[in-house]
Structure 1
């Protein structure tokens, strides 16, 4: 089964979760949580993935990476990006 990377970050003051689709012109599946705080819970993230037709790969864990809004500027605001390996949801309708 093919795997994908789901990522979650804050954009325009709201957390959003999206699934990265390489080598396609298709729009990436995305879910907006509509808030900055609190950070979406594990359950909320799993529910959002399910709505998008994906589920975590067995044994996968969320990893968090720190980035900056302005590359190479140490004074730039920090951007947190979470990532998880996912697969198409086995219960999804074809």
Structure 2
């Protein structure tokens, strides 16, 4: 059975990036850079990025968007959007 992880997508240094969170490990988190700020990567682009990293959404998973703040102490600070989805190591087998 494939292990499950959380993949997140956020803006970093003016560009969107997608990464898979690997907790309790010293391994480098797999990351995919979209090399742009706009437009926001499409569903298809995100799925292709996950595949390139060797992951796929777990059955029934959907992207969830969260609004955060660049500075939690300042309500006027810029908004930071983070997308997340549960993923598993790619099995290569259609469900």
CA shift at 1:53, angstroms?
0.4
Partner of residue 37, structure 2: 36
Instruction: Name the TM-score, length of structure 1 as normaliser.
Output: 0.94
List runs of 5+ in structure 1 lacking aligned partners.
none
Runs of 4+ aligned structure 1 residues displaced above 2 Å come to: none
Query: How many matched pairs?
Result: 92
Note the alpha carbon deviations across 1:10-55, whole angstroms, 9 max, x for none: 0111000000000011110000000010000000000000000000
RMSD: 1.1
Instruction: Name the TM-score, length of structure 2 as normaliser.
Output: 0.93
Q: Give the secondary structure class of the aligned counterpart of 1:51.
A: helix
List runs of 5+ in structure 2 lacking aligned partners.
none
